[in-house]
Amino acid sequence: MSFAELGLSAELLRAVAAQGYTHPTPIQCQAIPAVLSGRDVLAGAQTGTGKTAAFTLPMLQRLSAAQPAQSGRRPRRPRALVLTPTRELAAQVGESVRLYGQHLPLRSLQIFGGVGMGPQVEQLRRGVDILVATPGRLLDHQGQGNVDFGGIEILVLDEADRMLDMGFIHDIRRIIKLLPRQRQNLLFSATYSREIEQLATGLLQDPQRIEVARRNTAAETVSQRVHPVAKEQKRALLSHLIHRGGWEQVLVFTRTKHGANRLAQQLITDGITAAAIHGNKSQGARTRALADFKNGAVRTLVATDIAARGLDIDRLPHVVNYELPNVPEDYVHRIGRTGRAGSEGTAVSLVGPDERGMLAGIERLLGRRIESEKIEGFESVVPDAQSERPVRDEMPGRRQSAPSGGQRAHQGRSSSGRRASTASESGGPNGRHARKRPSNNGSGGGRRSARTSNAQGSGRTRG
């Protein structure tokens, strides 16, 4: 099937061809006709499968086909709103809107925090058709009377699962209440959860459900493996893998901002050019680091989970989990930065003895075990527990084996603190959302940690 067979206009086909695309992906084949028909859509597909174009192309066509009459002095009001969880994803979606809509008489604007509001206010006053925004900064503008939602015809929630995971649900609900009741709603998500289903039930009207792959799985184009290693040997093993393999472009994930800074400096000491990207960095620094990584000036980009969504790096060959994520679904999003658009990629996880429980949770989510390979000279100080890691189909009805008391306390602190620090990294919701959410395990210590993290982090800048 070609893009022309999907019913796209000549202007859009011209823009798509200019980007070098000839055949639509499975998610695009199903979503584009559904959006063009005016239906609400609930779509799930693995990251890197073309979800952005799946809603951007038909949205542009619908808006350009029904241009409202403009009154003399009144600026055009936004007609479409795309909400994203992070600044990087907002920038990526905004760039797609610009590229695909270059032959159409439509204006677009990206709104997110970390930059001054002045230029955004000026563009809003001149009038725009499409807003691509993070929720926090968008509500800042709304509170100051800079944006009028009365003309919104299409609402898109992109990476909806990530927005909920980062605590944006309160902001999303506030924004939805400000929109006209009559509108088209599109919800795109890489993973599904009970919270996503609840959001979809309250937001979508008779939606067309689209799912092009098994839920919560990694792309088949990504080769995954685990290297058991003692915690104190991880840095040396990472440098060894990069040097030995001749890796020229590596995205490395850590759990914390401080850990990302420290690892980047250590890699530089090892003779490997590196940069760190996380929420404490200014937007300018984040943009420069990403640009240097894309053009090859920096060999290794060390990132927190802020980069697990929205980074579209052409043919990125290697992703490394220096530390496993606290939430298994984030593993899928991390390794989804490689193996995109049909290209092959490699995802390597350096797993210490204290991370075996996290690895077991990831394997249950995937429904299979990940190949484990010990590297000579870097073996873990304890025996590999491959045979002790049950996958989901071996333990029906159980999501996770019960951790010990010490593990429960550790996991409670990790899970609670994660939401607050992740939200602050994106310039997202402030601490009041995290404080109101009860702790999953009833531990007050984890919630106090989340409040402290939010107060000390970068959450002062919203959106």
pLDDT of residue 309: 61
Domain boundary among 340, 374, 394: 394
Expressed as residue numbers, the domain containing 434 is 405-456
Q: What is the DSSP letter of 300?
A: E
Same domain, 205 and 336: no
Residue predicted with more confidence, 418 or 198 = 198
User: Cα(93)–Cα(84) distance, rounded to whole angstroms?
Assistant: 9
pLDDT in tens, 267-299: 999 999 999 998 788 878 888 998 899 889 999
User: Cα(65)–Cα(341) distance, rounded to whole angstroms?
Assistant: 29
Domain boundary among 368, 394, 420: 394
- 22-36, 88-102, 412-426, 446-460: range with lowest mean pLDDT: 446-460
Same domain, 126 and 206: yes
pLDDT of residue 187: 94
Give the pTM: 0.64
Same domain, 148 and 283: no
Asked whether residue 154 is domain-assigned, the answer is yes
Same domain, 38 and 176: yes
Question: Element (H or E) spanning 30, and its range?
Answer: helix 26-36
Asked whether residue 100 is domain-assigned, the answer is yes
pLDDT of residue 421: 44
Judged against a pLDDT cut of 80, whether residue 26 lies above it is answered with: yes
Asked whether residue 461 is domain-assigned, the answer is no
pLDDT, mean of residues 138-147: 95
Asked whether residue 60 is domain-assigned, the answer is yes
If phi over 0 gives left and psi between -120 and 50 gives alpha, with beta otherwise, what is residue 116? Answer: beta
pLDDT of residue 214: 55
Number of domains in the chain: 3
Domain boundary among 148, 177, 211: 211
CATH number at residue 288: 3.40.50.300
Same domain, 312 and 444: no
Same domain, 232 and 284: yes
249: Cα separation from own chain's centroid: 20
Judged against a pLDDT cut of 70, whether residue 215 lies above it is answered with: no
Degrees, nearest 5: CA angle 55-61-26: 35
Asked whether residue 235 is domain-assigned, the answer is yes
Same domain, 241 and 178: no
Same domain, 128 and 266: no
Judged against a pLDDT cut of 90, whether residue 354 lies above it is answered with: yes
pLDDT in tens, 189-206: 877 777 888 888 889 999
Judged against a pLDDT cut of 90, whether residue 463 lies above it is answered with: no
Residue 301 contacts by C-beta under 8 Å, 6 or more apart in sequence? 250, 251, 252, 274, 275, 276, 277, 289, 290, 293, 307
User: Cα(307)–Cα(279) distance, rounded to whole angstroms?
Assistant: 10
Same domain, 207 and 295: no
Residue 288: both structure tokens together: 């420069």
Residue 93: both structure tokens together: 């979606």
